[in-house]
Amino acid sequence: MTDPRHDDTTTGPEGADAPLHRRGIKSYVLRAGRMTQAQTRGLEEVWPRLGLTLADGRQDLETLFGRRAPCVVEIGFGMGASLVEQAETHPDTDFIGIEVHAPGVGKLLDEADKRGLTNLRVYREDALAVLERCLPEASLDTLQLFFPDPWPKKKHHKRRIVQPAFVELVRTRLKVGGTFHLATDWEAYAEWMAEVMDAAPGFANTAGPETAPYVPRPAFRPQTKFEARGERLGHGVWDLIYRRTG
């Protein structure tokens, strides 16, 4: 897909009276690409153990993982390096990744298998459908949304995943006290995220007054290769963490 990040025209998010979510609009574009041997192995050999589908229905997380533990969901994990690192570093936490692109899903599954991870499951589905149909209310300790497509052109802002209805859906899936962690390398999108989140009921920004609305990159969020390269080039990254209050 051609990177749309060449138009910095911005506008604010839709107001409270606007439709909260347009079902026919996707926040992503499926890209075709060649699969490596490892990615194919992940999809063919590891998927039966770690893969989940909408057809599996509403999950009982204790049954799914065979234990009671904190649960983190990451939407759009890309090639999965960050999510695999988190799962390996935090064996006492369970992780669910959601990604629509086959190469990334295959790569993550292959790597998770090679590292012997048992605390990770994967959906290759639309994230909204997974949240609505598969994850119970008040079941998640953290939901992560790292570097979603910023859709910078004004005419494409409706495709941004961070919209009031999405945020409300996230709120219902988080436990009270659970956190929604967003990160972007596109400053205009960071401002959009903050505006949507600050207007959303049932959330409180965790940033201190010296950095609000943003927080310094937490140590528990692994730095991606893309992010490290951007940092060397002087690009910014903005993290926001909001806690569910009600």
Q: Which of 72, 62, 116 is nearest to 93 (CA)?
A: 72
Say if residues 129 and 55 touch (Cβ distance below 8 Å).
no
3 is catalytic: no
DSSP collapsed to 3 states, the chain: CCCCCCCCCCCCCCCCCCCCCCCCCCCCCCCCCCCCHHHHHHHHHHHHHHEECHHHCCCCHHHHHCCCCCEEEEECCCCCHHHHHHHHHCCCCEEEEECCCHHHHHHHHHHHHHCCCCCEEEECCCHHHHHHHCCCCCCEEEEEEECCCCCCCHHHHHHCCCCHHHHHHHHHHEEEEEEEEEEECCHHHHHHHHHHHHHCCCEEECCCCCCCCCECCCCCCCCCHHHHHHHHCCCCCEEEEEEECC
Catalytic residue among 94, 110, 149, 239: 149
Distance CA 5, CA 109 (A): 30
Distance CA 132, CA 126 (A): 10
Q: What residues are labeled active site?
A: 149
